Structure 1
Amino acid sequence: MSGTSTDHADRTLLPTAGGAESLAALRVILRGHRLLAVAAVLVLVAGTGVGLLTAPLLGHIVDLVVDREGPRALTVPLVLLVVVALARGAAAAFGSALVARLGETVLAAVRERFIERALRLPLERVEAAGSGDLVSRVTSDVSMIAKSVRQALPEFTRSALTIVLTLVGLAVLDWRFLLAALLAMPVQMLSVRWYLRRAAPVYAEHRVATGALQHQLLDSIGGVRTVRAFRLNGVHAALLEDRSGAARDVALRGLHIVTGFFSRLNLAEFIGLAAMLGTGFLLVQDGAVSIGTATAAALYFHSLFNPVNAALFLIDDAQSAGASFARLIGVANLPAERTPEDGSAPVDGAVEVTGLGHAYADGRPVLTDVELDVRSGERVALVGASGAGKTTLAKVIAGVHTPSSGSIALGGVDVRELGPEGVRRAVTLISQEVHVFAGPLAEDLRLARPEATDEELRDALATVGALEWAEALPDGLATVVGEGGHRLTVAQAQHLALARLVLADPPVAILDEATADAGSAGARVLEEAAARALEGRTGLLVAHRLPQAAAADRVVVLDEGRVVETGTHDELVAAGGRYAALWAAWSDSRRGADVPAAAVPEKAAEAAADVPADRAATGAALGIR
């Protein structure tokens, strides 16, 4: 497998398979479908062979006319032409169907391998590559292969067989006709060589440019509120324009190469046809062949125009499909996640973090020597200014990122012994970005526990206070939600995520600002739902609002990637340290909102009362009160 590459945005792309690796993967996939492949080839060979009888029959008709044999002599050849046409059409249709079926089978196998592996990719790897890289592979690359399988593969197979058998037919007529036809081959081969040498790198570059464009689109559209809030519209528009321009320029380079390729193929056709006509004239003049035979030879060569051009043109699609196939195989062939041999499992929900360090880039640590001991069933709030390392610590504990140093134990078992799958079973991370999958609400919930009964789904919804609105949907739990279905509100989507948490029933749950996007009133409802969802399990909360921290069993304050304070809310306020400063800043902002309470609208007062902990921390750090 070729190594990962890095584009101009410093993204470590997911791997792309080399040529040998791609061929090996294709052979493995085809191994179970040899009978279908052989049947498809045999039917197409038979159909092409029958179709090649057309030229000799037309040549025979020419000879009959030259010899003045009369209309009756033409009856049998004309009937045979009709039979040949029907037989050729039937064989071509059946053979193409077999080839398409074989191609679709291969495509399905590749897609399944890719999806299976992609769903198990460490999120750290996906984030390093950028979501656009993975999305472009599962969308545009799969679409390109599908197009080639459904259109290019049957046509290429027919064209290749027609070329080979037509050359055999020319040799049967007279070996000198074959030599005349082969005069065009050097030009064609040089054209193909010229094309392949230039096209392959361009198509690979176009795939990368398309991935970079999709990555930027996801960033800009997905974070549109942040973009608008910080007035970054112009910056993001410029980035989109640059990446769109880069993708367009590469596509135009490819188009220029294709145009040059076909101009060279036209020259080859001229050379070959001129040689064929000249050879036919000389052979007829010498009496070596009849006019009908020379006509058949000329028709044979003329009938090669479309198959040759089609086969060579389809090299264009083959290059694109090959590049896409290599990108899919590059991900599909990534080594599987290690599964622990001893079957270790956490004994409870305790979390022990020792000497933990993590850095996204060398020399720029985000977490440094973090020590954290969370008792089973305890609820701990992580507090700190933006960039303090709260979310990173949560993701490292959840197994999203691999720590650079130190260790993590869940329920007394080191995460390295649990393996990625074991960590996922032990820890569930819920962030503010919740995806609602398209389909019935019940099936969305069953993602957490596929065997759950309808009654268990209702119990989970009731636990988080969501059963009332869920049953009020048009079709209750059978209501189709997500893309193209009933649109859930932000609060309902978070309710859904918390219900999934209850169904999954992990010993440890991490809520990373899971109520941040629900608005003031919605946040309070979701905080109550989160508290019920966390009952009976260990909870780590990345506190977005300081009241969340105040309600926790313990508060851990981070600053520049280090734990600087830990204790209960009352203890930390009394200590007068960083947390006390955060609480004072938040309290001042609330008093400022409450002073003119009679004149402040209810929603504005709620918004002022819910100043995020991060913002309060920033204000305290700047001395703003």
Structure 2
Amino acid sequence: MTSTHTGADDTGRRSDDAPIEETMSRTGPEERALLPTATGAETLAALRSMLGGHRLSAVTAVGVLVAGTGIGLLTAPLLGHVVDLVVERRGTDALIVPMVLLVVVAVARGAATAVGSALVARLGETVLAALRERFVERALGLPLERVEEAGSGDLVSRVTGDVTVIAKSVRQALPEFSRSAFTIVLTLVGLAVLDWRFLLAALWAVPVQVLAVRWYLRRAAPVYAEHRVATGALQHQLLDGVGGVRTVRAFRLNGPQLDLMERRSRAAMDLALRGIHVVTGFFSRLNLAEFIGMTSVLVTGFLLVDDGAVTIGTATAAALYFHSLFNPVNAALFLLDDVQSAGASLARLVGVSALAAPPEPDGRAVPVDGSVKVSSLDYAYVPGHPVLRDVGLEVSGGERVALVGSSGAGKTTLAKLIAGVHRPAGGSITLGGADARELGPAGVRRAVTLISQEVHVFAGPLAEDLRLARPEADDDALRAALDKVGALEWAEALPDGLDTVVGEGGHRLTVTQAQHLALARLVLADPPIAILDEATADAGSAGARVLETAALKALEGRTGLLVAHRLPQAATADRIVVLDGGRVVETGTHEELVAAGGHYAQLWAAWSQSRPGPTAGVKEDGA
């Protein structure tokens, strides 16, 4: 569908609806209603649910890894046997069979480990893909008001940073952790087979390792969770600062913005350094555990050989077994670092994907036309600071109405409320005779399309970008939509016509072309009500005139609401509604309002005086 991106700050307000001081003050993550994060139990339950449909794949992967690990455990006894043969001076001929077996074991182990790791990684990628799809589906269904309350950085950091962390763990950490875990368990079994006293000796390292893990988990989990939140806050601030750079410059807020960026960067950096300190302390404790365990095994081996209970080869095999535990134990425990980070990221994704979908309406409420009725409408972004107060508005089906007013009057907020972006604090909105609450979010989206001045060009073929509004549309329908808004000529002149890849990494469209594309989507979507939130403002004067003509074509046959900052565009509307201080103060045609000498007449006089030349009138500047 068409874009509803409006260049909003973290409260969802544009510069025409809020004082800049208030907008810039509400930027701390503690003041934003962040999207939910799942608890540990909820995350595990979601993971079990996703793995439930892949039991055969999971069993196969585990079986192959266990087989590979078991084959690898034959290396230590074979080397111990070689030691015994050398001690007994059996000659070189006696070494042929053990050496051949060592080669066979190495090849078989490598093959099984490679296949098992690939199966584990494939299983992980499959589950991750399902989680991503579930997350995106739920995120796209979130009320836009809820997303704006959380701030753009919170959702973006989950889609990018958190998914990246989990993907890295699935591709690297999960296979390695699985191999390490199986190696540890089977190696301990191997030590017990050699002699149960070797197993007891090796277990002396366990208390130190357990204490090290407990010490690590108590400190790492909060640090990683805080770091993910701090990273999201930093990303939000980056997006907010870059997106509002013109406002920042206009109000000379460079200094405060840089200070805020520095504080958030420092907070994220301090948490990262705390994490590194925790990891360093963790590995120093693991090194102590290795020293205690190896010393215990060597002493036990010496005593058992001296007592004649085992051979030198068996003691050698036991030492090799314990030494072979160094890497898997350290890897498994080290991967707790990745597991903690991935767990925090997974909880953030599950927290969104597990949100309950809004209740669907019963379908009995259906708009019968394109009329809009707003009754006693109230709205506030911040409690106690109303933006709209007792607003009433009636628009007939097919009528074209312009919303005008000074900056902060509430024009964009009213448009967003009608489009379902925000929910009113009081009053009601009726679309085509049906209450918007009974229509539900999906019903409102079908009835109303909002186009802002900042549309998005999706990466991919131009035709597919258009089909986002109507997936079943054929090429003829696409060309008809482009032709209606006057965009067919430049679209067909692209290198590959409608198959030209546009957006990120493709052919870059001009501002005018991007808005043309949004208007063509509007034609394809064919809603009964369309809202244009200054959709021609960024195209320059020549481009604006072209787009104003295109907008008029796109609005043919449907109700049109125009949030107009260019008064000549408003003057061409059937009716003008003037807002001031969050209230409707005037309504009428351009000629009636100018003759009345009220608020609109003052705006029109100020606009006319700011334009050079004899004409600032409707005919020259209008569509």
TM-score scaled by length of structure 2: 0.93
Residues in 2 aligned to 1:479 and 1:461: alpha-carbon distance in whole angstroms: 15
Aligned-residue offset at 1:342: 3.0
Matched, 1:357 2:366: no
Q: CA deviation at 1:249?
A: 1.1
SS of the counterpart of 1:517?
Answer: helix
1:588 shift after superposition: 2.0
Q: Which moved more, 1:423-432 or 1:333-342?
A: 333-342
Does 1:209 find its partner at 2:209?
no
> Residues 456-504 of structure 1, C-alpha deviation per residue, up to 9 Å, x if partnerless?
1111111111111111111111111111111111111111100100000
What value does the CA root-mean-square deviation take over the aligned residues?
1.5
Find the aligned partners of 2:384 and 2:602 in 1 and give their Cα distance: 30
1:265 alignment partner, SS class: helix
Quote the offset at 1:230 in angstroms. 3.6
Structure 2 partner of 1:623:
none
Q: CA deviation at 1:433?
A: 0.9
Matched, 1:39 2:60: yes
Residue 193 of structure 1, aligned match among 204, 214, 227: 214
Query: For residues 236 and 499 of structure 1, what CA distance do their matches in structure 2 show?
Result: 38
Which residue pairs with 1:297 in the alignment?
Answer: 318
Matching of residue 135 in structure 1 with residue 161 in structure 2 = no
Matched, 1:259 2:245: no
Give the Å deviation of 1:119. Answer: 1.1
Q: Give, as a single letter, the amino acid of the residue that structure 2 aligns with 1:68.
A: R
Separation of aligned partners in 2, 1:92 and 1:359: 60
Give a deviation string over 1:132-188, Cα, whole Å, max 9, x none: 111100111001000000000000000000000000111111111111100000000
Is 2:109 the partner of 1:91? no
Letter of the structure 1 residue corresponding to residue 204 of structure 2: L
Q: Say which of 468, 474, 479 aligns to 2:489.
A: 468
| 1:393 CA drift (Å) | 0.4
Matches of 2:517 and 2:363 in 1, distance apart?
34
Distance 1:528 1:230 in 2: 34
How do residues 145-224 of structure 1 correspond to structure 2 at under 5 angstroms?
145-224=166-245
Q: How do 1:117-128 residues align onto structure 2 when only pairs under 5 Å count?
A: 117-128=138-149
Contact kept in structure 1, 2:491 and 2:498, CA below 8 Å: yes
Q: CA deviation at 1:455?
A: 1.0
Letter in 1 for 2:260: L
Measured after TM superposition, the shift of residue 240 of structure 1 is 2.2
In 1, the alpha carbon distance for the partners of 2:318 and 2:621 equals: 87
Q: Does 1:243 align with 2:264?
A: yes
CA distance in 2, matches of 1:434, 1:443: 16
| 2:524 pairs with one of 498, 503, 506 | 503
Give the Cα–Cα distance (whole angstroms) in 1 for the partners of residues 530 and 293 of structure 2: 73
Shift of 1:436: 0.3
Where 2:537 maps in the other structure, the secondary structure is coil
Distance across 1 between alignment mates of 2:371 and 2:30: 40
Please state how far the C-alpha of 1:9 moved relative to its aligned partner. Answer: 5.3
Contact kept in structure 1, 2:204 and 2:296, CA below 8 Å: yes
Kindly provide the amino acid, as one letter, of the partner of residue 380 in structure 1. Answer: V
Aligned to 1:516: 537
Unaligned stretches of 5+ in structure 2? 1-26
Contact 1:156 1:311 in 2 (8 A): yes
The 3-state SS of whatever aligns with 1:594 is coil
1:594 to 594, 607, 613: 613
Structure 1 residue 228: Cα displacement: 3.3
d(CA) in 2 for partners of 1:134 and 1:386? 29
SS of aligned partner of 2:507:
coil
Alignment correspondent of 2:558: 537
> Which amino acid letter does the alignment assign opposite residue 107 of structure 2?
L
* 2:485 corresponds to 1:485: no
2:580 equivalent in structure 1: 559
Residue type of the alignment partner of 1:352: K
Task: Quote how far apart the aligned CAs of 1:343 are.
Answer: 4.1
3-state secondary structure, aligned to 1:372: strand
Give the SS at the match of 2:377: strand
Aligned to 1:105: 126
- The aligned runs of 1:373-388 (5 Å cut-off) are 373-388=394-409
Alpha-carbon separation, structure 2, partners of 1:427 and 1:528:
21
* In structure 2, C-alpha distance between the alignment counterparts of 1:507 and 1:439, rounded to whole Å: 28
Q: How big is the shift at 1:222?
A: 2.2
Distance between the aligned counterparts of 1:369 and 1:526, measured in 2? 33
Partner SS state of residue 379, structure 2: strand
Shift of 1:396: 0.4
Checking the alignment, whether the CA contact within 8 Å between 2:545 and 2:621 is kept in structure 1 is: no
Q: Distance in 2 between matches of 1:407 and 1:299?
A: 77
CA offsets 1:253-304 (integer angstroms, 9 cap, x no match):
1001000000000000000011111111111111111111110000000000
CA positional deviation for 1:610: 7.6
For residues 263 and 457 of structure 2, the distance between their equivalents in structure 1, rounded to whole angstroms, comes to 32
Residue by residue over 1:71-125, the C-alpha shift from the partner in whole angstroms, topping out at 9 and shown as x without a partner, is 1111111111111111111110111111011101110010010011111111111
Secondary structure of 1:407's counterpart equals strand
For the pair 1:568 / 2:592, whether they are aligned, the reply is no
Map 1:13-24 → 2, pairs under 5 A: 13-24=34-45
The equivalent of 1:600 in structure 2 is: none
CA contact (8 A) 2:569 2:621 kept: no
CA distance in 2, matches of 1:240, 1:446: 39
Partner of residue 367, structure 2? 346
566-575 vs 85-94, which moves further: 566-575
Q: CA deviation at 1:362?
A: 1.0
Listed one character per residue, the Cα deviations across residues 300-332 of structure 1 (whole Å, up to 9, x for unaligned) are 000000000000000000001101110000000
Contact residue 556 and residue 565 of structure 1 kept, 8 A: yes
Distance 2:435 2:570 in 1: 28
**1:527 partnered with 2:545:** no
**What's the counterpart of residue 425 of structure 2?**
404
CA distance, structure 2, for counterparts of residue 236 and residue 487 of structure 1: 30
Percentage identity across paired residues of the two chains? 80
2:76 paired with 1:52: no
SS in 1 for 2:587: strand
Contact map agreement 2:29 2:233 (CA 8 A) in 1: no
> Take 1:352 and 1:228, find their aligned partners in 2: how far apart are those partners?
39
Displacement, 1:568? 1.2
Deviation at 1:226, TM superposition (A): 3.1
Give, in angstroms, the shift of residue 7 of structure 1: 5.4
**Distance in 2, Cα, partners of 1:463 & 1:224:** 35
In structure 2, what is the Cα distance between the partners aligned to 1:42 and 1:482? 46
Q: Take 1:36 and 1:126, find their aligned partners in 2: how far apart are those partners?
A: 37
CA distance in 1, matches of 2:258, 2:508: 28
- Secondary structure at the residue paired with 1:24? helix
Q: Of the candidates 316, 330, 338, which is equivalent to residue 309 of structure 1?
A: 330
Deviations 1:424-468 (A, max 9, x none): 000000001100001111111111011111111111111111111
What is the alpha-carbon distance in structure 1 between the residues aligned to residue 97 and residue 496 of structure 2? Answer: 69
Q: Aligned pair 1:448/2:469, yes or no?
A: yes
Partner deviation per Cα, 1:214-260 (whole Å, 9 max, x = no partner): 11111122233333344433333332222222111111110010000
**In 2, are the aligned partners of 1:338 and 1:420 still within 8 Å (CA)?**
no
SS at match of 1:358: strand
- Residues of 1 paired with 2:104 and 2:488: CA distance? 69
**2:307 matches 1:286:** yes
8 A Cα contact 1:7 1:13, kept in partner: no
The letter for the 1-side match of 2:602 is A
- Structure 1 regions of 5+ residues with no counterpart? 1-5, 598-604, 612-625
